């Protein structure tokens, strides 16, 4: 099996994460095909084959997956609940490995929680994939929890730091370590998974470039800029309250509030360290937090 996962289809290859996954797979020597919807306008590196597909049609997807060894789905959040035809097509086309669009908090431990309700698209897709792998022993899966998209989140403000106004929003004590990964690191992890198919078959792996606390990030930002940043103190209890209210109204913008509560609350305990981390299994090393923060500040 080790040499056989060469041809890899990346679904959502034009996206934030998909682009990085494609780059890292090419670097690692995989033969990459990008799947895209009909209305595709994105461009890809010349070595990448591009297939336009209809994600609702098992027939269209099965045809596109002929000869493929693995599917990596980095499809948008809005479309994660629609991956079932893709799974059925992967099984029909005898694809050996499926990596679904997880790439966030560990969705295997959210049952019974409010945020778990919003993550049902991911949870049900992976449950379905696991069922298919049990029926078809040659069909396997790997789930990847990456925590927060860190370099992307610094750039787009989702981790609470604004370099222009030198402002940071710090939740609770700011001391809780938080699972976080840079996009290229996630791409490297995907390549490492597909390079070591036996070790990584039918496993859910939590990975992290690092597990910084908000205060650690702030300290690096202040040292690097030589300025004291304005800190806006916030409480995760308040985030939870807003999230629950929104969810109660069926408003899924609750997600980011419930997420902040889940990951930043003192004692949340979701950092992936030591045995909890899949990076040593994959042969990867933690990344340099300060270097990532400095690159963002200089960018």
Ligand X SMILES: NC(=O)c1ccc[n+]([C@@H]2O[C@H](COP(=O)([O-])OP(=O)(O)OC[C@H]3O[C@@H](n4cnc5c(N)ncnc54)[C@H](OP(=O)(O)O)[C@@H]3O)[C@@H](O)[C@H]2O)c1
Residues in binding contact with ligand X, number by CB under 6 A: 24
Q: What's the min distance (Å) between Cβ of 146 and ligand X?
A: 6
Segment contacting ligand X by CB under 6 A, of 15-23, 224-232, 238-246, 279-287: 15-23
Does residue number 48 form part of the binding site for ligand X (CB under 6 A)? no
Is residue 16 part of the contact set for ligand X (CB under 6 A)?
yes
Of 82 and 166, nearer to ligand X (C-beta) is: 82
| Cβ partners under 8 Å of residue 47, min gap 6 | 26, 32
The interface region with ligand X, picked from 63-71, 100-108, 243-251, 267-275 by CB under 6 A, is: 100-108
Stretch that binds ligand X, among 34-42, 123-131, 163-171, 202-210 (CB under 6 A): 34-42
| Residue 52 or 227 having the CB closest to ligand X | 52
Binds ligand X (CB under 6 A): choice among 48, 50, 79, 84: 79
17 lines the binding site for ligand X (CB under 6 A): yes
Residue 254 CB, nearest approach to ligand X (Å): 15
Q: Give Cβ neighbours of residue 145 (< 8 Å, ≥ 6 apart).
A: 102, 103, 104, 105, 106, 107, 108, 179, 204, 205, 206, 207, 272
Q: Which is nearer to ligand X, 56 or 225 (CB)?
A: 56
Question: Is residue 160 close enough to count as binding ligand X by CB under 6 A?
Answer: no
Q: Which is nearer to ligand X, 2 or 78 (CB)?
A: 78
Q: Decide: is 74 part of the binding site for ligand X (CB under 6 A).
A: yes
Mark residues 104-143: x for contact with ligand X by CB under 6 A, - for none.
x---------------------------------------
By CB under 6 A, name the binding residues for ligand X. Answer: 12, 14-18, 36-37, 40, 42, 74-80, 101, 103-104, 146, 148-149, 153
């Amino acid at each position: 099996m080790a040499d056989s996962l060469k041809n890899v289809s990346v679904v959502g290859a034009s996206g934030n994460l998909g682009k990085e996954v494609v780059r890292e797979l090419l670097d690692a020597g995989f033969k990459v095909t990008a799947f895209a919807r009909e209305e595709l306008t994105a461009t890809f590196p010349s070595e990448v084959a591009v297939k336009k597909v209809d994600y609702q049609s098992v027939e269209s997807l099965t045809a596109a997956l002929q000869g493929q060894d693995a599917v990596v789905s980095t499809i948008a959040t809005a479309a994660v609940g629609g991956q079932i035809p893709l799974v059925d097509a992967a099984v029909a086309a005898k694809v050996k490995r499926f990596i679904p669009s997880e790439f966030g908090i560990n969705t295997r431990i959210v049952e019974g929680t409010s945020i778990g309700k919003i993550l049902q698209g991911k949870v049900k897709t992976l449950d379905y994939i696991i069922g298919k792998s049990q029926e078809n022993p040659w069909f396997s899966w790997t789930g990847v929890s990456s925590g927060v998209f860190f370099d992307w989140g610094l750039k787009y403000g989702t981790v609470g730091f604004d370099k222009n106004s030198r402002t940071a929003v710090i939740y609770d004590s700011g001391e809780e370590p938080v699972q976080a990964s840079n996009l290229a690191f996630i791409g490297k992890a995907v390549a490492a998974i597909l390079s070591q198919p036996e070790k990584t078959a039918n496993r859910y792996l939590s990975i992290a470039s690092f597990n910084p606390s908000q205060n650690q990030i702030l300290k690096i930002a202040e040292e690097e800029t030589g300025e004291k940043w304005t800190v806006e103190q916030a409480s995760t209890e308040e985030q939870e309250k807003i999230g629950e209210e929104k969810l109660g109204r069926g408003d899924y913008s609750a997600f980011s509030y419930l997420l902040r509560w889940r990951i930043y609350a003192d004692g949340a305990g979701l950092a992936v360290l030591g045995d909890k981390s899949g990076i040593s299994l994959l042969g990867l090393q933690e990344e340099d937090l300060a270097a990532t923060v400095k690159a963002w500040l200089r960018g």
